[in-house]
Amino acid sequence: MSNNDSRYVEIVNLVKAYPNPLGDAIKVVDGYNLTIKKGDLVTVIGHSGCGKSTVLMMLAGLNPITSGDVVVDGRVVDGPGPDRAVVFQAPCLLPWLTSYGNVMLGVKRCYPHASKKDRDDIVKYYLNLVGLADSMHKYPREMSGGMQQRVGIARAIALKPKMLLLDEPFGRLDSLTRMDLQDTILDILDKEKITTMLITHDVDEAVYMADRICMMTNGPEARVGQVLNVPFERPRTRADVTSDDLFFDLRASLISFLEKNEKTRPGDQPAPAAQPLDQGVYEAPSLLDTHAPRGGGADLVLAGSTSGPGQGTLN
Amino acid sequence: MFSDSHLLSPTTMTDLATATSTLLGAAELWRLDTDGSLSLDTGLYGSHHALRDSAADLRLASGQGLAGSALAAGRPRLFDDLASVAAPGRAQAAAHNGLSAAAALPRFHGGKITSVLVLFFRGGGDACGGAEIWSAGEGRFELALGECYHAGACLERFARISKYVNFPQGAGLPGRVWEHNCPELVPDVNASKTFLRSSGDGGRELSVGLGLPLMAGRNLQAVLLLLSSQTTPMARVHEIWEPSADDATTLVRRHGVYGSMPDFGHASDDLSFSTRNGGEGLPGRAAATAEPLLTENLDDLGIARRDAARNAGLTSGMAIPTVITDTVRYVTVLLW
Amino acid sequence: MLDGLKTFLLKAVDLSALTFLEPVVRLAWGEEPPVQMRRIGRNIVIPLIAIGAFLVAWTLISDKIQTKAGKLPGPVATYTQASKIWLTHQQEEEKKAAYDLTGPGREARLAEVETRLDDLVALDETARQGVIDAKAAAADALAQAQAPIDAKIDALKGQIKTAKATRKTELKTAAAALDAGNKDAYATFLASMQDGAQAIEADEDKLDVLKAQYKAVTDATHDPLVEAQKEATRVAEEIQHLTAMKDLLGGRNRGEKLAGLETKLEAATAAFYTAPGEKAYNAANKISMTKRSVTRTTQANYPTPYTLPYQVLRSIMCVFVGFLIGTAVAVPVGVLCGLSPTIMAAMTPFIALFKPVSPIVWLPIMLIIVTGLVGDPDNNAFIQFLWKLPFIGSYEVNPAFLASAAVVALCSLWATLANTALGVASIDQDHINVARVLKLGFWNRLFKIVLPSALPLMFAGMRISLGVGWMVLVAAELLASSEGIGKYVIDQFNNGSSESFASLIVVVFVVGIIGLLLDRIMIVFQRAVSFDGSVASI
Ligand SMILES: Nc1ncnc2c1ncn2[C@@H]1O[C@H](COP(=O)(O)OP(=O)(O)OP(=O)(O)O)[C@@H](O)[C@H]1O
Ligand SMILES: [Mg+2]
């Protein structure tokens, strides 16, 4: 795998600040770093309001980036585009178009030179892929939420995107439909190998779907707290994964991260004290940052990351 | 004071008795000679005489033995199977004394390795704790667990999960150490928000966590994590010293964890060490030379603490300076 | 099969927004009869009862209201007038057809008309005789009814006269017997005199009652006479119509006229070639004059009769022209306003300023402008072009028509404009995001995302606009004297007969029903474009 593929998506020091009428701008997300390998599915989990959607919207280009960079396949993201397809929690189909029309809208855009017949085949192929061959000509209002979400997924994938961005796509569905749709997406991704970011609140979903789980710390100034690699082979079956001990270990790890973060709210931080905090523990009155200011680490690159592990600086 | 005399009560004595079984069993400093081979500079062996004897007159070429392997690799190594790496006879000598793993940490100076610090860890029995080397992971911005040693069954699940965990810069203990290039001490990992693994990952037994940046010049090569449990701490005293804000030639304490020895902790308050004229005390001398320092002389802990150290039964001390582009920023002190 | 029909009917009912029919369809298929009956009761029976009550109230009230132009026409009179208007319209159509009819068709029709005329002559006789008879009968009946009352009156009159005389003598006698100085006796005399006067007054009141009875009997209409007169009038009118028809099928028929002219022309041509030198000039002149007549006759149409149905069609035409102009302006401007807050800010003062201006104010201005632009319609290329158009041409578009349409446009465009702007400005952020992700260009975005999502609101605005336009139109036509309902109304008003009073009432219903139909049509459109399947309100 080339270097480019292992860093297919790079999010570098991403910051999102919202203006605050009462004072300094609030940095909802600050210093978010993540790289995603080509074809990987990364699930993002974190407490509600921590900034998951904000990050995803910045990746999609739908929310302006305050500072930092998002690079997808070597190109810096500056605005939305069909190479980054988005599926939201609400299906947001165009209600005046049938499922066929909704998918066709994107297909027309992305295959401008294809013949009518080819486009038709493409639309049908993707609707088939999400299991909607029978509801090709139904309007959104005639379909259940799950079916609408399937259309949304078909529309996104039909764009042949470099990256698929899913923001709680199953959030409004009942658990049976949700599992059904999870498997549908995994099937499709096994076929299409699209690099995917999936936001979820569901710990099981996060583990089952992911190649890597990106856990976010609480906002403001949310960032990546911990990344878990999920080693299960693909294609996966739910039964295999959920019967594996590791599944439960990973799940427990996730939950413990979330629980730990629940307590970490601004203001909860213990004030640095000059006296021993408790028997046998001494803490200096100064905060770390005063000695090594944030960003001071920027010029101190990890040796392994530049020259590769094992080479060091000896020679 | 009443409380002071209380600390000498039998409970303290039993604490001492149990607490002597630190995870850190021995330490050696190997110096690179001009011929490119390594020879033992100093060693801390405590009661591990067999190990001391096995090191006498040993010269290690690059790639040979623990220190030689690290020299050859040019980066920190951690071995949990000493037999396959250690110089002939040394693995048995270590095993004889219950030492089953070792870390070999090369020290860089001017872009070259000048010495290798080798730490031996106990294993088996009630041992519970670990040492981990975190280095660049798959993602560009993440640290992944490299070689590691987790002693005891109590950390089985912790070890299993840790393999899959990556920390981005600034997150978790390794991530924070990386972000600031600063050693960091976490007195109780389960209660701390800095240490993100722990209870849910099967690390309930763990108590103190120490993260050490392993620098090569101005680059961070890896982060060494030393994890203690209540029953077998890595060392009995963990301290981090740094140049005072007013006077760069005076080291003041930044952080200290004293576990069951609060009187020693109190004795350490308001202490400072000068780094002038070859340095004063264990941290001062280490800072002056910018090299790790091993000592069995309790005077090196500072005259003010000597008695407290003797009362607590401390025998060995190790100071590891954190050097960034030829400047000593921190000195980490471990006592056991 | 049957279920298919049911679904079809239900869909049709739903689409046409005639939801009150839905329970009927469901009931026909035996679906939950009690529920459907209840719904029919509420949606159909109750309105019918209300309409019935209204008709009754109308009848009662109209009897009481007497005006200079006669009684307020009741439902029956209104209906009669409506039928009459319709009949006149049909006769005019017939005449028009007759004028253009040629060949064997004309002859057959002419024969038909003549036969009927012959029949009618007899019928006319009978009807006239009927009237005479009925008049005699009525006079007889009247005499019979008057006689007893007359007798009573005479008797009463005599009685009163006698009583008065007797009384006078009595009183004079009593007065002679009065003792001078006896005040009591004098007072008694005075009282008895007044008593006597009261008794006579009571009798005189009775006489008045009888006189009133007499007058009522005299005034009472004699139903057979009225019927006979009506019949006679009907026959007379038909004869008049058929005579006109005969004329139009005969001598005044265009084809006939042309034929006559042709013959004349041939004769003139022949005369010309044989004419001696000095008379050739006159002969030639005759030829060219005849030729001109041919051309004129060929072009001349039967003069359009301004019947109510014609006026209504013209008004509908006018409202649609105005509405289309208004929509053509309002939709693009509305879209621009919705897309750009800047344009919206620029437009807001104008919208606020012009929206409340009454059509009465606009009309003179528009009339002046249009007349100024058009000048003489006979020499204006645009108007001539309109006259040549196949459908519109038959409505003789003139400056007054254009001014009325312009006023309709000016007054109706605001609702569409405001709703379009709102619809465009309030597009779902999700849909905008879809457009952004797909990187749709301006036009694609406009036509694939913006307009479809604004369409329901746009049509809601257009529905309001059309309603406003229809209301404004009648006033505009009335002021502009543009042929149409408004003109019809003012004509009837100036006419001032009791018939025109009834015509005005008919117009009320015609205008109301057409307004209703226009609204229903717009509802159907609105529903067709509303993607969420929401039911438009009534
Ligand atoms: N336009 C805005 N102005 C100010 N603050 C905003 C704005 N949009 C979002 N935020 C803040 O940013 C934070 C992150 O929001 P975001 O929607 O990304 O959270 P999330 O992680 O997706 O939450 P959830 O899991 O509930 O979807 C929230 O605290 C929210 O209050
Ligand atoms: Mg969200």
Q: pLDDT for B245-291, tens place per residue?
A: 888 899 999 999 998 888 888 888 889 999 998 888 999 999 999 99
Closest listed residue to residue C332, CA positions, set C459, C456, C451: C451
Which pLDDT score is estimated for C532? 64
**Which of chain A's residues have a Cβ under 8 Å away from the Cβ of C438?**
82, 105-106, 109, 159
Interface test with A, best of B62, B109, B133, B142 (most A CBs within 10 A): B142
Residue C89 falls inside a structural domain:
no
Measure Cα distances from A2 to A6, A41, A191, B139, C509 in Å. 6, 18, 21, 14, 82
Interface touch B258/A280, C-beta < 8 Å:
yes
C–B contact (≥3 CB pairs within 8 Å)? no
Using CB atoms, pick whichever of B73, B139, B255 lies closest to residue A227: B139
Q: Are residues A150 and A212 in the same domain?
A: yes
Residue C122 CA to residue A76 CA, distance in Å, equals 101
Residue B160 CA to residue B168 CA, distance in Å, equals 20
Which pLDDT score is estimated for A221? 86
Q: Which residues pair with A165 in a beta bridge?
A: A86, A197
**Chain mean position to CA B32:** 21
Question: Is B16 within 8 Å of chain A by CB?
Answer: no
Interface touch A302/B219, C-beta < 8 Å:
yes
Q: How far is the CA of A149 from the centre of ligand 2 (A)?
A: 16
Residue C87 falls inside a structural domain:
no
Measure Cα distances from A154 to A102, A124, C290 in Å. 9, 10, 80
Q: Note every long-range contact of C133-138, with CB atoms under 8 Å and residues 24 or more positions apart, other chains counting.
A: C133/C228, C134/C222, C134/C224, C134/C225, C134/C227, C134/C228, C134/C229, C135/C225, C137/C222, C137/C224, C137/C225, C138/C222, C138/C224, C138/C225
Residue B268 CA to residue B270 CA, distance in Å, equals 6
Q: Does residue A58 have its Cβ closer than 6 Å to ligand 1? A: no
Residue C66 CB partners (closer than 8 Å, separation 6+): C72
Using CB atoms, pick whichever of A230, A250, A300 lies closest to residue B219: A300
Residue A87 CB partners (closer than 8 Å, separation 6+): A149, A152, A153, A156, A164, A165, A166, A167, A169
Name the 3-class secondary structure at B105: strand
H/E segment holding residue C335: helix C308-339
Which pLDDT score is estimated for A213? 94
Residue C115 CB partners (closer than 8 Å, separation 6+): none
Q: Does residue A50 have its Cβ closer than 6 Å to ligand 1? A: yes
Question: Is A88 within 8 Å of chain C by CB?
Answer: yes
Question: Is A2 within 8 Å of chain B by CB?
Answer: no
Q: Are residues C112 and C52 in the same domain?
A: no
Structure tokens at C156: 């009463």
Domain extent listing, chain B: 7-20+123-234, 24-122, 236-336
Structure tokens at A236: 């996966």
Which pLDDT score is estimated for C324? 94
Contact C363, C407 (CB under 8 A): yes
Report the nearest atom of ligand 1 relative to the CA of A50: 21
Same fold flag, B24-122 and B236-336:
yes
Please list the helix, strand and coil fractions of chain C in percent, rounded to the nearest 5, in that order.
Answer: 85, 0, 15
Q: Are residues C320 and C442 in the same domain?
A: yes
Residue A164 falls inside a structural domain:
yes
Q: Is the ipTM of this complex over 0.85?
A: no
Contact B179, A296 (CB under 8 A): no
Q: Are residues A22 and A125 in the same domain?
A: yes
CATH number reported for the structural domain that contains residue C335 in this entry: 1.10.3720.10
Q: What dotted CATH number matches B24-122?
A: 3.30.450.40
Residue B69 CA to residue B85 CA, distance in Å, equals 8
- Outline where DSSP puts E strands in chain B: 24-32, 38-44, 59-60, 77-79, 99-109, 112-122, 129-136, 142-151, 165-168, 184-186, 206-216, 219-229, 237-243, 250-257, 272-274, 293-295, 317-324, 327-335
C118-173: pLDDT as tens digits: 888 888 888 888 889 888 888 888 888 888 888 888 888 888 888 888 888 888 88
Contact C449, C427 (CB under 8 A): yes
Structure tokens at C430: 């999700």
Interface touch B135/A306, C-beta < 8 Å:
no
Closest listed residue to residue C127, CA positions, set C1, C217, C228: C228
Among the three residues C200, C235, C270, which one is the final residue of a domain in this structure? Answer: C235
Contact C375, C398 (CB under 8 A): no
Average pLDDT value for chain C: 86
Q: Are residues C34 and C168 in the same domain?
A: no
What φ, ψ does residue C193 adopt, rounded to 5°?
-65, -45
Give the angle subtended at the CA of B32 by the CAs of B27 and B38, to the nearest 5°: 65
Q: Which residues pair with B220 in a beta bridge?
A: A302, B215
Total number of domains in chain C: 4
Name the 3-class secondary structure at C175: helix
Q: Are residues C433 and C499 in the same domain?
A: yes
Q: Does residue A169 have its Cβ closer than 6 Å to ligand 1? A: no
Question: Is B260 within 8 Å of chain A by CB?
Answer: yes
Neighbour count for residue C287 (Cβ, 10 Å):
17
Contact B323, B181 (CB under 8 A): no
Q: What is the residue-level pLDDT of chain B in tens, covering all 336 positions?
A: 333 433 333 333 334 434 458 899 999 999 999 998 999 999 999 888 889 988 888 899 999 999 999 999 999 999 988 988 888 888 888 888 889 999 999 999 888 899 999 999 998 888 899 999 999 866 667 899 999 999 888 888 899 889 899 998 888 899 999 989 999 999 988 888 888 887 777 788 889 999 999 998 888 899 999 999 988 899 999 999 999 988 889 999 999 999 888 888 888 888 999 999 888 899 999 999 999 999 999 888 888 888 889 888 899 999 999 998 888 999 999 999
Residue C70 falls inside a structural domain:
no
A57-81: pLDDT as tens digits: 999 999 999 999 999 999 999 999 9
Residue A6 CA to residue A18 CA, distance in Å, equals 32
Residue C4 CA to residue B335 CA, distance in Å, equals 91
Q: Are residues A100 and A145 in the same domain?
A: yes
On the 0-12 / 13-18 / 19+ scale of CB atoms within 10 A, C345 is exposed
Interface touch C437/A80, C-beta < 8 Å:
yes
Interface touch A292/B73, C-beta < 8 Å:
no
Q: Are residues A293 and A149 in the same domain?
A: no
C275-327: pLDDT as tens digits: 787 888 888 888 888 888 888 888 777 777 788 888 898 899 899 999 999 99
Question: Is A139 within 8 Å of chain C by CB?
Answer: yes
Query: Comparing C47 with A305, which gets the higher pLDDT?
Result: C47
Q: Are residues C144 and C282 in the same domain?
A: no
What parts of chain A have a pLDDT lower than 70? 1-3, 263-315
Q: Are residues C111 and C204 in the same domain?
A: yes
Interface touch B242/A253, C-beta < 8 Å:
no
Query: Comparing C418 with C382, which gets the higher pLDDT?
Result: C418
Scored b (16 or more CB within 10 A) or e, C87-118 reads: ebbebbebbbebbebeeeebeebbeebeebbe
Name the 3-class secondary structure at C216: helix
Question: Is B176 within 8 Å of chain A by CB?
Answer: yes
Of all residues in chain C, what percent carry a pLDDT higher than 90? 22
Residue B231 CA to residue B20 CA, distance in Å, equals 10
Whether C260 shows a pLDDT value over 80: the answer reads yes
Residue C401 CA to residue C367 CA, distance in Å, equals 9
Q: Does residue A16 have its Cβ closer than 6 Å to ligand 1? A: no
Q: Are residues C318 and C440 in the same domain?
A: yes
Query: Comparing B118 with C25, which gets the higher pLDDT?
Result: B118
Q: Looking at chain A, which subunits does it touch, using at least 3 CB pairs closer than 8 Å as the criterion?
A: B, C
Q: Does residue A198 have its Cβ closer than 6 Å to ligand 1? A: no
C68-126: pLDDT as tens digits: 767 788 898 899 889 998 998 888 888 888 888 888 888 888 888 888 888 888 888 88
Total number of domains in chain A: 2
Which pLDDT score is estimated for B234? 92
> Nearest CA to CA, how far is B201 from chain A (Å)?
5
Residue A203 falls inside a structural domain:
yes
Residue C78 falls inside a structural domain:
no
Which pLDDT score is estimated for B139? 63
Which residue in A has a C-alpha nearest to residue C445's C-alpha? Answer: A105
Neighbour count for residue B118 (Cβ, 10 Å):
24
Q: How far is the CA of A54 from the centre of ligand 2 (A)?
A: 7
In the CATH hierarchy, which fold is given to the domain comprising B236-336? Beta-Lactamase (3.30.450)
> Nearest CA to CA, how far is B185 from chain A (Å)?
9
Residue A270 falls inside a structural domain:
no
H/E segment holding residue C67: strand C66-67
Q: Looking at chain C, which subunits does it touch, using at least 3 CB pairs closer than 8 Å as the criterion?
A: A
DSSP state of C276: -
Scored b (16 or more CB within 10 A) or e, B77-114 reads: bbbbebeebbbeebbebbbebbbbbbbbbbbbeeeebe
Terminal C-alpha separation, chain A: 28
Q: How far is the CA of A28 from the centre of ligand 2 (A)?
A: 13
Q: Are residues C218 and C268 in the same domain?
A: no
Residue A263 CA to residue B124 CA, distance in Å, equals 36
Q: Does residue A106 have its Cβ closer than 6 Å to ligand 1? A: no
Closest listed residue to residue A68, CA positions, set A116, A27, A8, A96: A27
Q: Are residues A33 and A173 in the same domain?
A: yes
Q: Are residues C52 and C196 in the same domain?
A: no
Q: Are residues C296 and C338 in the same domain?
A: no
Using CB atoms, pick whichever of C430, C438, C439 lies closest to residue A92: C430
| Pocket mutation for ligand 1, best pick of A50, A170, A198, A224 (most atoms within 8 Å of C-beta) | A50
Contact C174, C189 (CB under 8 A): yes
Interface touch B135/A309, C-beta < 8 Å:
yes
Q: Are residues A7 and A144 in the same domain?
A: yes
Structure tokens at B133: 């080397």
Which residue in B has a C-alpha nearest to residue A11's C-alpha? Answer: B141
Name the residue range of residue A301's domain: 275-308
| Pocket mutation for ligand 1, best pick of A26, A44, A54 (most atoms within 8 Å of C-beta) | A54
Atom 22 of ligand 1, nearest CA residue: A53
Name the residue range of residue C289's domain: 253-305
Interface touch C449/A90, C-beta < 8 Å:
no
On the 0-12 / 13-18 / 19+ scale of CB atoms within 10 A, C394 is middle
Residue C393 CA to residue C401 CA, distance in Å, equals 13
Q: How far is the CA of A88 from the centre of ligand 2 (A)?
A: 9
Structure tokens at C107: 């002859």
Q: Are residues A189 and A296 in the same domain?
A: no
Residue C305 CA to residue B20 CA, distance in Å, equals 123
Task: Give residues 299 to 318 of B whose Cβ lies within 8 Å of A.
Answer: none
Residue A48 falls inside a structural domain:
yes
CA torsion C194→C197→C198→C200, rounded to 10°? Answer: 160
Contact A10, A69 (CB under 8 A): yes
Q: Do you find a cis peptide bond into A231, omega within 30 degrees of 0?
A: no
Interface touch A94/C533, C-beta < 8 Å:
no
Using CB atoms, pick whichever of B187, B196, B269 lies closest to residue A225: B196
> Model's pTM, two decimal places?
0.74
Q: Are residues C272 and C347 in the same domain?
A: no
Q: Does residue A64 have its Cβ closer than 6 Å to ligand 1? A: no
Question: Is C455 within 8 Å of chain A by CB?
Answer: yes
CATH tag for B7-20+123-234 (out of 3.40.50.1360, 3.30.450.40, 3.30.1490.20, 3.40.50.720): 3.30.450.40
**Which of chain A's residues have a Cβ under 8 Å away from the Cβ of C453?**
94-96
CATH number reported for the structural domain that contains residue A196 in this entry: 3.40.50.300
Residue C529 CA to residue C252 CA, distance in Å, equals 53
